[in-house]
Chains A and B, each alone.
Chain A
Amino acid sequence: MTAPLDTAPSGTGIGKAVRRREDQRFLTGRGTYTEDINRPGQLHAYILRSPHAHARINGIDTSAAREAPGVVAIFTGADMAADKVGSLPCGWQIHNKDGTPMAEPPHPPLVTDTVRHVGDQVAVVIAETKNQAKDAAELIQVDYEPLPAVVSTADADAPDQPQVHPNAPNNVCYDWHLGDKAAVDAAFARAAHVTTLDLVNNRLVPNAMEPRAYIGEYEPSTGDYTLYTTSQNPHVIRLLMGAFVLSIPEHKLRVVAPDVGGGFGSKIYHYAEEAIVTWASRKLGRPIKRVAERSESFLSDAHGRDHVTRAELALDKDGRFLGLRVATKANMGAYLSTFAPAIPTYLYGTLLAGQYATPAIYVEVKALFTHTVPVDAYRGAGRPEACYLLERIVDVAARETGIDRAELRRRNLIRPEQMPYATPVALTYDSGNFPRILERALELADYKGFAARKAESARRGKLRGLGLCSYIEACGIAPSNVAGALGARAGLYESAEVRFHPTGSVTVFTGTHSHGQSHETTFAQIVAEKLGVPIENVDIVHGDTAKVPMGMGTYGSRSLPVGGSAIVKAVDKVVAKARKIAAHMMEAAEADIEFKDGRFSVAGTDKSVGIADVALTAYVPHNYPLEELEPGLDEKAFYDPKNFTFPNGTQISEVEIDPETGVVEIASFIAVDDFGRIVNPMVVEGQVHGGVVQGIGQALYENCVYDPESGQLVTGSFMDYCMPRADDVPSFTVQTDETSPCTHNPLGVKGCGEAGAIGGSACIMNAVVDALSEHGIRHIDMPATPNRVWQAIQAARVPVAAE
């Protein structure tokens, strides 16, 4: 698909590949990121972090550091505790199998007596310059008493392990389950074949391009606080930090998230540093800035994934899935990050039906504390883990039963006529034509021609593999009542305000946040089309609690399905009011007024008036039905989704492995996606590319490794943590299928931000294992690094050599 570059007025509506309006400032270096902002009298904070994975603090001597040049203040956990600063809250409560609530240990912004991971916050040094703060931090004497640490997900709940929190015995945060255990047991009892697979979903470091940065500011004359933050959701930060940590009411706390350089989930959460700079700005009466260095990001941004799972799939003699049984251990890290408990439960267990009509599913998830950085949502959040498990075990089952993997999927896919389809794990899919997309992907990939390509690779000494992955995700998060019943502590609606100005331009305020998602373009396309005004006349405003009424921010591919729907609702209100005004202006009945392409007309006449003229009348109401209508044309809407949306698709990749070195090269990657209706195909394609590269990253390159003895982060820099690069990936083939729009939101959209990452790792690993299968290899864990692939081949060769 080529990206059309049509920016003519006729080419800016829904479905057009309008060029990104935000690129002018980003590509010319005119963006305003938090680090670009400097406040008068600003000080700089440096956080002293724990070098130990687990240690008791017997004392902190800051006397020498206080004397260092430029130092204004040093605070420790004791200072924050004295001010009754609260614990960083968790936004989701999960219940155990027995109905009791999860263990929820305190998470102080600065520790008081114990550090629980390398990088835990011990003290903050505030000085005139950042370097002075850093210099002084080295003079702080912390009397650490090192304690044994546990970092392993698989072993954290063993009885002899070091304990992370006193109120979480055996390091268990919760022991949760979902599904009908008895039905699953019965399904396995009558199965013709059972496939069992143990797998690890490796821990990842999100690595957004822009490290986290904050400025806290307090105005003593008014008592107003302002926090500038690299956040995906400033209103959520205002709520969490204001209400739970610092006791600042909403009207005295403004949170601004200006241009933000990527998040991938890691900038959703309320972080300690936000509370520290905001709290300290009042104590010192000066703005305080803190910008992370990359090595701090590795040690303090919430990590992703980190599951250890046993999965079992029961099949009948024809290969129909009878039941799925899953037991997962999920690493929470040392503390509960904002949404952490929801990820391996309601964003994972509920997705285990995938695209298949498996009648019985039972999943158990044990969430465990370890002495590591907290783990939370990372692009896809739970859904890539579910997809990886399911698509891997389906491939293994296909191999074990001798049924072609495409055919096995075909036999088990939910058919379009079964929609809406209630899965055995609490979701109801509203739409989707899974078989159609599978067939289209198989055709695009020339599935039938694979054997010939494999033979050609073999002639060059290479092992070729094909990977198939049919994914589904639950996005557009989420219906508030459903989320609330599942333990969410907030509503998950979105707000919008559409302000039609007196002379024809429009400002749209959205509670979502754009940090790479192109909202300034996509949302403007929707508004321009719906109101019939030129796109140049529409501006999108986000990221400031002082401007936007309310917001839940951007995550879970929710901005368009939820935020976009709120905008449509507000636009509809603007049009409805303008229609009344137009009727008055043209002395016609409201019922006779038609609205099309920005003009109101009286049906059956040649009388019409443009919406800009209606707006002018609304603000200059000299001839206006003042007794019936308020002046002005400015409408707000809150939209609460009726259901999740279910983006889905099939990805097919081919890889070539050099058996001498273990190097995996990706020969091709095809994605056919159902995102419902597409607003901007170029933006969608870009989102798919980025997601797929992150999936490839997990499959082949990225791996967060802790030393099992010391609890040190071994992969603490880009020298050891391998990010995928442009020359590691091929050109992608991306197609969308718009024939099954979402049935329950006004745009028919499903969301596209995570899809690539949800299927990508499974798709690549299925291809890798397929290539290695001729050596008898059944599974290898991610990432499939050259060393690991080579070792797998060596291990597989041993029995052959012994014959």
Chain B
Amino acid sequence: MYAFDIHRPETLGEAARLLSGNEDAKLMAGGQTLIPTLKQRLAQPSDLIDLGQVGDLKGIREEAGGLTIGAMTTHATVQFAPLVKRVIPSLADLAGHIGDAQVRNRGTLGGSIVNNDPAADYPGAVLALGATVRTNKRQIAGDSFFTGMFETALDPGEIVTAVHFPRPDSGRYMKFRNPASRYAIVGVYVAKTGGAVRVAVTGAAACAFRWTAAEQALTRSFTADALESLTVDPSDLNSDLHASAEYRAHLVKVMAKRAVAGMM
């Protein structure tokens, strides 16, 4: 790890001030990606701004029937919160499948979506639930938040403060995990609200995406069989040591069918 200065601001304003105009400064949430990156000397920030002391970034509350979850809320908190289990149980379930217990105790919602790792779980929830990302400057629709591999719609200096998840009638996240890293090789989140269905896919491509053909098919007939005739084009999917693009394409459909079957 290279040397850096660490800051532990107690307010959002102080954090923003430390970040503004300093291109080599980096925010740290749970650090579950950043710390290993630093240890491997793959990043060299001049300053690290630890958001851990900013109190109003944590917590879960019910809002407009859905949930608003602070950016610095850990996965374990979401996993075990009675409020989440009651309002959006599929989201608690997703949180419980991230990494391992150590990662879930440190990693945060905000850190996950801002990093936008192609294999992260939370981007699937943001898309499937039609969430809204709140920052210290504005609100960003979840559908336009993820712009590419490790890329988001955030401006320089912008800090995510919370995510608002509307409550679906039902939802289910099916994850096919990488046995080594326990990231998603493929994760499919299906959410149904009234007649509308959203199907979000993570892990399979450079960035989480909505599988619109599946959404249309499920809107017509909400059954696993409705997906049977669909195919996923592997040409834009990731291919690596653990899973070929063809295998990922196949898994997207299998996981989607299992998610739907689990919601019946």
Contact = CB atoms under 8 A, between A and B. Distances in A.
B179 A701 contact: yes
A537 B254 CA distance: 63
Interface stretch (A38-46, A229-237, A711-719): A711-719
Contacts of B250: 790
Contacts of A719: 180-181
A672 B2 CA distance: 53
Contacts of A701: 179-180
Nearest to A135: B2
A787 interface: yes
B241 A295 contact: no
B102 interface: no
With most chain A CB atoms within 10 A of its CB, the pick from B2, B41, B179, B251 is B179
A785 B179 contact: yes
A721 interface: yes
Interface in A776-803: 785-787, 790-791
A660 B242 CA distance: 16
B244 interface: yes
A723 B100 CA distance: 14
Interface residues of A, number: 23
Contacts of B243: 786-787
A616 interface: no
Contacts of A720: 180-181, 241-242
A705 B254 CA distance: 28
B229 interface: no
B149 interface: no
A731 interface: no
A131 B242 CA distance: 34
B37 to A, nearest CB: 12
Contacts of B176: 661, 786
A64 to B, nearest CB: 16
A787 B180 contact: no
B241 A705 contact: yes
Nearest to A293: B39
A662 B254 CA distance: 11
Interface in B223-264: 241-244, 247, 250-251, 254
A718 B180 CA distance: 6
A135 B251 CA distance: 44
A721 B247 contact: no
A486 interface: no
B251 A785 contact: no
B95 to A, nearest CB: 18
A102 interface: no
A183 interface: no
Contacts of A585: none
Contact of A661 (B180, B181, B251): B251
Contacts of B2: 135
B180 A721 contact: yes
B38 to A, nearest CB: 12
Interface string A698-735: 00010001000000001100111111000010000000
B213 interface: no
Nearest to B100: A725
B103 to A, nearest CB: 12
Nearest to A715: B241
Nearest to B257: A660
A661 B254 contact: yes
A714 B41 CA distance: 18
B255 to A, nearest CB: 9
B1 A131 contact: yes
7 contacts: A135-B2, A660-B254, A720-B241, A721-B180, A785-B179, A787-B244, A791-B247
Given A135-B2, A722-B180, 7 more contacts: A295-B40, A722-B179, A728-B179, A785-B242, A786-B176, A786-B243, A790-B250
